[in-house]
Amino acid sequence: QKEVEQNSGPLSVPEGAIASLNCTYSDRGSQSFFWYRQYSGKSPELIMSIYSNGDKEDGRFTAQLNKASQYVSLLIRDSQPSDSATYLCAVNEAGTASKLTFGTGTRLQVTL
C-alpha cells in the first residue's frame, strides 16, 4: 500500500511569517513530487514540482526533497491571507509515468 502522509492541520501562521508544510511517503521508487493548492470548493492547482534532492525555489515557495528520508516539504515565505487553503502533497507511483498518490492535505490558515 503506497502511502503519502501529511498532518491535516489546521496550521495557523500570522501574515508575513513562514509556513512550513511537511509530507512523507512510503514508495522508495517514487521519482516525482508535487505540491498542489486547493481552495475550498475548487479543484487542485499545481504550485510546485520537484524531482531531485535539495531545494527548489519559485517566488515565495520553496520545495525541499530528501529521498533518503522519504520526505518532501513546502515552505511559503511572507505568508498572505490568500495562501489560506489546503495543500496536497502528491507523489508519483514508481513504474508509472504520471499516476499520483495524494496525501490527505494540510489546511493552512494565515491570520491577520
Tell me which residue has cell 491571507: 81
Instruction: Work out whether 34 is an interface residue with other proteins (CB under 8 A).
Output: yes
- Of the ranges 18-26, 60-68, 69-77, 91-99, which one interacts with other proteins (CB under 8 A)? 91-99
**Contact indicator for 30, 93 with CB cutoff of 8 Å:** yes
Tell me which residue has cell 511569517: 17
Cα–Cα dist 37/46, whole Å: 6
Beta strands 11-14; 106-111: pairing state: parallel
Instruction: Work out whether 103 is an interface residue with other proteins (CB under 8 A).
Output: yes
Instruction: Work out whether 11 is an interface residue with other proteins (CB under 8 A).
Output: no
Q: Choose between 78 and 96: whose C-beta lies nearer to other proteins.
A: 96
Binding region for other proteins (CB under 8 A): 32, 34, 36, 41-46, 49, 88, 90, 97-100, 102-105
